[in-house]
Amino acid sequence: MRRNKLLPYFLVSPYLIHFLVFVAFPVGFSLYLTFNTWNIISPMEFVGFGNFIRVSQDGLFFKAIFNTIKFLVVHIPLQIIVALFLAETLNQKIKFRPFFRGAFFLPVVVSGVVVSMLWQQLYGFDTGILNRLMSSVGLPKVGWLTNPDVAMYSIAIMATWKNVGLYVILFLVGLQTVPPQYYEAADLEGASHWQKFRHITLPMINPTIFMVLILSTIGGFSLFIEPYIMTGGGPLNSTLSAVLYIYKQAFTNYHMGYSATLGFFFAFIILMVVFIQKRFVERGDQ
Amino acid sequence: MKNLALYLILVVGALAFIYPFYWMTMASLVPEGDISGLTLLPTTITFDSYLQMFEKIPIDRAFFNSIFVASSVTAGVLVFCSMVGYALAKLRFTGRNLIFYVIIFTMTLPFQITLIPNYILMVKFGWIDTYLALIIPYLINAFAIIMFRQAFLTIPQDLIDAARIDGCGELRIIFQILWPNIIPSLVTVGIITFMATWNEVLWPLIVIRDENLMTMPQLVTLFAVGGRAESQLGVKLASATLLALPIIVAYLFFQKYFIQSMASTGLKD
């Protein structure tokens, strides 16, 4: 054939160039930076395992991980429960389904910047809608974003509100793949609501639950704009997230070497956690 | 009875997702002093907050920047990623499987590891404070390549062979013969890329300092956390409302496509 042997390589060349420049080189360079200290202006200085020792003694690094765990502990279960509940409700014979689906999905498409600015007001201590609501039914005001014990959970609730619409759709797709005959057979056997949910619905939507788990975990470690806008990482670093900490080390303190080390460690932790979750789910399937 | 409860749950749920946006829009339209008491209907409507905001920040310029950056990235992704996806799906060459596995692997690579080195690259390239920094790194996207590869796999080889016999070059085959056959994939990748680029804020914050080159989310973010709004809530919420508006309008028109596209990214595994 007259077809050029080099042609396939020409077609994939955009990917190869992009991969070499923006993925392979940065990963290698990041590895190299972890052994150096550098503020971008003065020359790099080799510090061996200095950065690793520094990470292992860095209270804020562990604080950021701890904050992420706090976030995930609320965010993941809340997201699964709310999404399943709404999807199950939408899956009944109802009118206006597209409208409700569209409404639940609305925050998913809107910028996190808008959502953060908006919820900062809803969470306001004196004039926020939530506290005004609490006061009107006689409950004490909550320091949603000002109380260090509460702030991270407030962000987790907001993130659930923003993302849950996507999972409603995914669960709905999952629920609609369950053959109705299964439920009919279960009804003949006299199965209860809970039994049907536990033994028919749940196994069918297991892959979706797993996906929520993975995506939420990655999302938790990628939190940035929410604490950046709402709290700046405070109060008392209680909402300092992994990415916000990398950002601060790099662009407030100009510790490029150290922030690359942090990025490296956080990426490693994410891969480990996702890997463990995968193993755990696979074992559960057997 | 059961139906009533069902609709009650759905209506309360829908309100919980819509009301905050309604409140934000209203809050941007009432006098500053009225915001703290606002729940449902405003007593007076004014565009003061918007007028003040336009004086304080170049939001119109930022809107243009956002449109320009998001459109360039989307066009680039559609062109380059369909080229790569086509080669992976329909051509045989040494290293094809290796490249495919590398793409799958890079999809799982957390961005935290490349963030700082990529910033340093931008500094070395002299791309800080240029559109290049906002566009070039985003022109290739592993997810889009995989989507296009899947789409091209479903196209019969006969169609491509016939085009070759007619003397079509491979680029013409991709863009003139095959693109019309994979419109749903083009729409999905297009919507997701445009939306992700439009909403991206961390990367612009890192590589752009010149206010004239800022995209909307970045400008609004800096307006919200900086002192320029002089702690006036109305102008901040006006900027947030303007930032949300284009995507919400697009969403109202193309709701079905938005939901399908986003759901298909979630279902990719």
Assigned domain for A257 exists: yes
Assigned domain for B240 exists: yes
A259-270 burial, b at 16+ Cβ within 10 Å, e below that, comes to bbbbbbbbbebb
pLDDT value, residue A284: 63
Assigned domain for A7 exists: no
What domain count does chain A have?
Answer: 1
pLDDT value, residue B259: 86
pLDDT value, residue A1: 46
Mean pLDDT over residues B25-48, rounded? Answer: 84
pLDDT value, residue B1: 64
Q: Report the residue of chain B nearest A259, measured CA to CA.
A: B116
Confidence of residue B268 (pLDDT cuts 50, 70, 90): very low
Q: Report the residue of chain B nearest A18, measured CA to CA.
A: B140
Enumerate residue ranges in chain A where pLDDT < 70: 1-3, 283-286
Assigned domain for A77 exists: yes
Task: For an interface test with A, give the residue of B116, B128, B225, B242 to mutate (most A CBs within 10 A).
Answer: B116
pLDDT value, residue B257: 86
Q: How far is B137 from chain A (nearest CA, A)?
A: 7
Assigned domain for B112 exists: yes
Assigned domain for B2 exists: no
Q: Which residues of A touch B255 (CB under 8 A)?
A: 98, 102, 105
pLDDT value, residue B107: 87
Confidence of residue B255 (pLDDT cuts 50, 70, 90): confident
ipTM: 0.90
Q: Compare CB distances from A104 to B17, B251, B269 and report the shortest one's residue.
A: B17
pLDDT value, residue A157: 96
Which among A281, A71, A268, A28 has a CA at the least distance from the CA of B108?
A268
CB contact under 8 A, B17 and A107: yes
CB contact under 8 A, A260 and B116: yes
Task: Give the CATH number, domain containing residue A220.
Answer: 1.10.3720.10
What domain count does chain B have?
Answer: 1
pLDDT digits (tens, 9 = 90+) for A241-254: 999 999 999 999 88
Q: Compare CB distances from A109 to B87, B220, B247 and report the shortest one's residue.
A: B247
Question: What distance in Å separates the CA atoms of residue A241 and residue B139, rounded to the nearest whole number?
Answer: 28
Question: What distance in Å separates the CA atoms of residue A202 and residue A207, rounded to the nearest whole number?
Answer: 10
Q: Which domain holds residue A109?
A: 44-285
For B21, the token pair is: 């946006």
Assigned domain for A186 exists: yes
Assigned domain for A51 exists: yes
- Indicate the SS3 state at residue A4: coil
Task: Give the CATH number, domain containing residue B191.
Answer: 1.10.3720.10
Mean pLDDT over residues B52-59, rounded? Answer: 90
Q: Which residues of B touch A264 (CB under 8 A)?
A: 112-113
Assigned domain for A228 exists: yes
Assigned domain for A6 exists: no
Confidence of residue B266 (pLDDT cuts 50, 70, 90): low
Assigned domain for B239 exists: yes
Q: Got the DSSP string for A18-30? A: HHIIIIIHHHHHH
Partners of A36 in the β-ladder = A46
Q: Report the residue of chain A nearest B136, measured CA to CA.
A: A18
Contact yes or no for A258/B115 (Cβ under 8 A): no
Q: Report the residue of chain B nearest A250, measured CA to CA.
A: B116
Q: Which residues of B touch A3 (CB under 8 A)?
A: 164, 170
pLDDT digits (tens, 9 = 90+) for B56-98: 899 999 999 999 999 999 999 999 999 999 999 999 899 999 9
pLDDT at B195 over 60: yes
Q: Compare CB distances from A22 to B16, B92, B137 and report the shortest one's residue.
A: B137
CB neighbours of residue A140 within 10 Å: 7
Q: Which residues of A touch B84 (CB under 8 A)?
A: 11-12, 14-15
CA distances from A178 to A65, A91, A196, A209 (A): 38, 11, 11, 15
Q: Which region among B128-132, B147-151, B254-258 has the lowest average model confidence (pLDDT)?
A: B254-258
Q: Which residues of A touch B14 (CB under 8 A)?
A: 99-100, 103-104
Mean pLDDT over residues B19-30, rounded? Answer: 92
pLDDT value, residue B261: 83
Q: Which domain holds residue B156?
A: 19-266
Per-residue HEC secondary structure of A131-192 comes to HHHHHHCCCCCCCCCCCCCCHHHHHHHHHHHHHHHHHHHHHHHHHHCCCHHHHHHHHHCCCC
- Indicate the SS3 state at residue A236: coil
